[in-house]
Structure 1
Amino acid sequence: MKQLAIIITSLLFSILFYDRSIGLNLSIFSLITIAFLVFYNPIKFKNKTILLHTFAYVLTAIFVFINHSYLSVIANCAAFFTLVGTVSETSSSIYVQWFNGIYTTIAGIIQRNFDKNEDTQKVNWKKDIDLAHWAKLIGIPLVFVIVFILLYKNGNPIFNDLISQINFDFINIQWVLFTVLGYYLFNNISKPIQVEPATSLDLKTENELYKSDHFSEEKLKKEKQLGTTLLGLLNLLLVFYIITDVMSLSSIETTKASELSNHVHSGINTLIASIIIAIGIILYFFRGNLNFYAENRTLKNIAFSWIILNIILIILITIKNQIYITSFGLTYKRIGVHIYILLTFIGLVTTFLKVLKIKNLAFLFRRNTQIAFVVLIVCSMINWDATITKYNLTKAKAYDVDYLIKLTDRNAVILYNLKDNIVISQENKNRIETKYNNYMLHLSQRDWQEFNYEIVANLEKLDKTKD
């Protein structure tokens, strides 16, 4: 029964994806994958963590259908590996779940067949399917049928003509191989595996930091003095930098894109170096027993001040980048700056919590990877090409039409609808119309597996294109 489920899903895999681009098929595949995993692992899907990751996987599938972007596809793949890895071990860290999910997808059945652990469920071919019996049942009659067909062809001209008309071109070797790939994929994920010793080591590692046996007050006192002096001086330097940065912010010439770009990019470079050094220094001094030293309050306060000052630096960079966006519109790089700023802010906050609650490096890595996964899913919710186009043409003081035209076709409809409301050359209007018409033609030629929200939203226009 379970082997039959794998065969059916492998056939559906080929029907959905063979010689097709990404669209509705990936959303359907996500639902099939969930049903398949539930069928093979029903007890595990009572776990809240698995249900949460299942919801995230479904959510990314919806975003693929709506936005049809590379980012949404990447988010869906990440959610797939996360779900498979979570089924293998629900309590492991998300990065270990990714590792388990990827490894299971690539080599699950191979690992299960070589695993000697009695607790691991293996594929029992003799129990599930009697291969020898089926080989005899299909192979022996087939051989004799072919032999007698060759004999009868020579004895009857009418029979020979009928047999000659049989065309086996319908057999597509590539489709068969693609189906085998689907069979291999679903066979791998049927029973997700745990990569050892990575999984067990992760489960044993706690988030808490504990006091070690070697506790030298004299050494800790010297280390505290070094940390206090170093962080104190860096705080003074950063305060001076922030003051000068605020002064420079008021003198920025918003009409010059090059000047704004220089301010933002130089600020980002400073931010990168500052955050890395800040987190590195704090993690060094609060890596062990200094967390439990009775006289570490001053050092902790200076470390907290350093983090707060870096957050102020982040705010200044955010303001500069937003001025840049308001003046010259959105681009992927400017959006990327905002996302990077968000992630660095989160990194500072988790570092603050690590020092405050005496956590270890595992805590930082676990929390930050979880948050990064959530940020990826949230970002995949947005049609960035359409958002950039709409913002630039309706709110930005200046914009680059050539940049908007060169974006993917996911902004073709909005660009076409707004082309008459903006002042651009006739040449650019013609380019927009060409892009729109080609996009509509492309949508009209898609099969049902490649459907997405854009096709549903533009059915009337697509009918006219066909006519």
Structure 2
Amino acid sequence: MNPAFQPGAAAWPSATPAQPAPLPLTAAQKLLLPLGALLFDWLFWLEGTGLNVLVFTIFVVAAQLYLLPRHAAARRSGYFWLAVAGSLFSAAMVAVYGSGAAGLATLASLAMLLGYVNQPHLKLVLYAVLTAGANWLQAGPRVLRGLRAPRQSGAGLRRGWFYARLLLVPLAVLVGFHLLFAMANPRYDMLSYKVMAKLMDWLLLLIPDISFAHLLFFALGFLLTAGALVVVPVHYFADHESRFGEFIRRQRDRVASFGVRRPDFSAKNFRTLDLRKEFLAAGAVFGLVNLLLLVVNAIDINWLWFGFVPKANFDLAQFVHEGTYVLIFSILLAMGIVLWFFRRNLNFYQPGLPWLRWGATVWVLQNAVLAISVGLRNYYYIWHSGIAYKRIGVCFFLVLVFFGLATVLLKIWQRRSAYSLIRLNSLAVYAVLLALAAGNWEPWIAGYNLQRRFPSLDIGFLLDMPGRVLPVLQARRAVIAEARQLNVEDENGNVTSIDNAAALARLDMAIRDWQAHHAARPDWQSLTWAAYQTAEALPPHE
């Protein structure tokens, strides 16, 4: 158990409106809280994201490992160690690339870590994140309530005055000897003067920096540190998850596998379908949609899979966008229908269960074929028009679709519950988020798009990317100079064309602006490895 856990502490949300009691802190927490707040302020005030994210993440992870007792349940949780590894990995990717995906992965990983520390028996990633959020909302205010001086403070004041007198005497002696040495030794006097001058200069620099905004930022850092180091037991989501099981069991009261009770239509004299009628309905649905999907897949295989070449003036973007969104919605709807029919006792209807399982399996496999067609549409768009952020997103989304279809097959053949599918797919989403954090996507996009075979180049899109893409653009100036059509987008979203000289001038201006910004911010806190490599690769600023 974490040292901050107290028996009888209020769960979240609280059942009474009374103010929560202040939290008793351990000696380690009393030391780490101000240290973490000062560290947060030093790392992030007026800084971007870079090495500071890695340093603060290491501090949070190390503090949690130190605060956790040796026999704490969290240390035996695989989800906890997954969150630890994910936090350090994603924070390292922030220090390497400084990308938004890596920052989001770090935030999600730390939230998971704190959620599993709070409730080690949690498995759902979403519930762990919500538990961490609920803990953060309570930890800071309750720690601040504990900072109030106790009402019976007479003995404490006397003890404080006793130690103050012990400290004042050595200080007075030190000042006296300092004055004597300064009068007797000119060199000592000059050295002490220089030290005091440096101290005063530092104070003069510090005082203007202490603004109201800075104080608010420091308070935010203290609250974030309190939420990361102090545990307020939040049982709400753990109690809710404890109702679910990995597998479906036969239910006599018609309770769904995810805790949703079937509506009662007895007031309308409506009799609920028995298993045989429900089986006939499911069989009819699977049979009809399999035939319909077979026709759609046959058309796509004949049209897209072999030798697809878009005709002249063919709107490939419209073809990909509309077709992709519709097909993705169709796949999600198919997965929902399978979950609906296999949600409860139909899994145990032996007379028709084999037919139902095979019919649903064929439908799932046909949806996998449909997902392949979506991937081919995306591939043709990339091949003929280049890569964009959405195209990468579609690729990773299709990976999740294939994983989700595989878990649907597990549900069909192993009677897994919807809770089991959500648990597995949430872990897959987290794995995809870490994969996105590991990619240096912008230079890869620019390197692919800067090919002479493309009829047009969206130079405005490339110049709007982070600075780490500039070495790629600089290395391929010849491609920009020879491009047949260069497009930019204005503030109103209108796409216009510019000539090659104007595009190269914009590139030179972007390089100068980035170098000036990089030179003006020499602090290491927001430095990244990609920024260092960019500065080394770009030509010297003139």
The offset of 1:390, in angstroms, is 0.8
The yes-or-no answer on 1:294 pairing with 2:324 is no
The offset of 1:25, in angstroms, is 0.8
Aligned ranges 1:123-138 → 2 under 5 Å: 133=157
Give the match for residue 427 of structure 1.
Answer: 502
Given candidates 302, 325, 328, the residue that maps to 2:385 is: 328
Give the match for residue 237 of structure 1.
Answer: 292
Q: Which amino acid aligns with 2:206?
A: F
The yes-or-no answer on 1:449 pairing with 2:525 is yes
Give the match for residue 69 of structure 1.
Answer: 99
Deviations 1:435-460 (A, max 9, x none): 12221222222211111012332454
The offset of 1:28, in angstroms, is 0.8
Tell me the TM-score normalized by structure 1: 0.84
**1:351/1:364 contact within 8 Å kept:** yes
The yes-or-no answer on 1:277 pairing with 2:306 is no
SS in 2 for 1:449: coil
**1:325/1:396 contact within 8 Å kept:** no
Deviations 1:154-180 (A, max 9, x none): xxxxxxxxxxx9987733144344333
The yes-or-no answer on 1:5 pairing with 2:32 is yes
How far apart, in 1, do the equivalents of 2:311 and 2:276 lie?
54
How far apart, in 1, do the equivalents of 2:365 and 2:158 lie?
70
With over 3 angstroms needed to count, the CA separation of the structure-2 counterparts of 1:340 and 1:455, relative to structure 1, is closer
Aligned ranges 1:302-313 → 2 under 5 Å: 302-313=359-370
Gaps of 5+ in 2: 1-26, 166-199, 255-270, 484-499
SS in 1 for 2:507: helix
Give the match for residue 181 of structure 1.
Answer: 220
How far apart, in 1, do the equivalents of 2:405 and 2:428 lie?
13
With over 3 angstroms needed to count, the CA separation of the structure-2 counterparts of 1:355 and 1:200, relative to structure 1, is same
Q: Which amino acid aligns with 2:110?
A: F
The yes-or-no answer on 1:211 pairing with 2:250 is yes
How far apart, in 2, do the equivalents of 1:304 and 1:103 lie?
40
The offset of 1:377, in angstroms, is 1.0
Give the match for residue 186 of structure 2.
Answer: none
Deviations 1:177-208 (A, max 9, x none): 43333222222222333433221221342211
How far apart, in 1, do the equivalents of 2:112 and 2:58 lie?
15
Given candidates 104, 109, 114, the residue that maps to 1:79 is: 109
33-42 or 96-105: which moved more?
33-42
The offset of 1:410, in angstroms, is 3.0
Q: Which amino acid aligns with 1:97?
A: A
SS in 2 for 1:448: coil
**1:257/1:328 contact within 8 Å kept:** no
Q: Give the count of matched residue pairs.
A: 436
How far apart, in 2, do the equivalents of 1:256 and 1:372 lie?
39
How far apart, in 2, do the equivalents of 1:180 and 1:214 lie?
52
Gaps of 5+ in 1: 115-121, 142-164
The offset of 1:421, in angstroms, is 4.4
**2:471/2:537 contact within 8 Å kept:** no
Deviations 1:227-273 (A, max 9, x none): 11111011000001111223332685436575322322232233133
How far apart, in 2, do the equivalents of 1:279 and 1:361 lie?
11
SS in 2 for 1:170: helix
Q: Which amino acid aligns with 1:182?
A: G
Report the aligned-residue RMSD: 3.4
Tell me the TM-score normalized by structure 2: 0.73
How far apart, in 2, do the equivalents of 1:208 and 1:435 lie?
57
SS in 1 for 2:372: helix
How far apart, in 1, do the equivalents of 2:285 and 2:508 lie?
61
With over 3 angstroms needed to count, the CA separation of the structure-2 counterparts of 1:418 and 1:255, relative to structure 1, is farther
Aligned ranges 1:323-402 → 2 under 5 Å: 323-394=380-451, 397-398=454-455, 399-402=457-460
**1:91/1:203 contact within 8 Å kept:** no
The yes-or-no answer on 1:17 pairing with 2:78 is no
Give the match for residue 153 of structure 1.
Answer: none
How far apart, in 2, do the equivalents of 1:125 and 1:53 lie?
38
Deviations 1:359-397 (A, max 9, x none): 111111111111111101111111221111011124864
Given candidates 199, 212, 215, the residue that maps to 2:238 is: 199
**1:257/1:324 contact within 8 Å kept:** no
**1:405/1:432 contact within 8 Å kept:** yes
Deviations 1:142-164 (A, max 9, x none): xxxxxxxxxxxxxxxxxxxxxxx
The yes-or-no answer on 1:89 pairing with 2:128 is no
The offset of 1:325, in angstroms, is 0.4
With over 3 angstroms needed to count, the CA separation of the structure-2 counterparts of 1:344 and 1:194, relative to structure 1, is farther
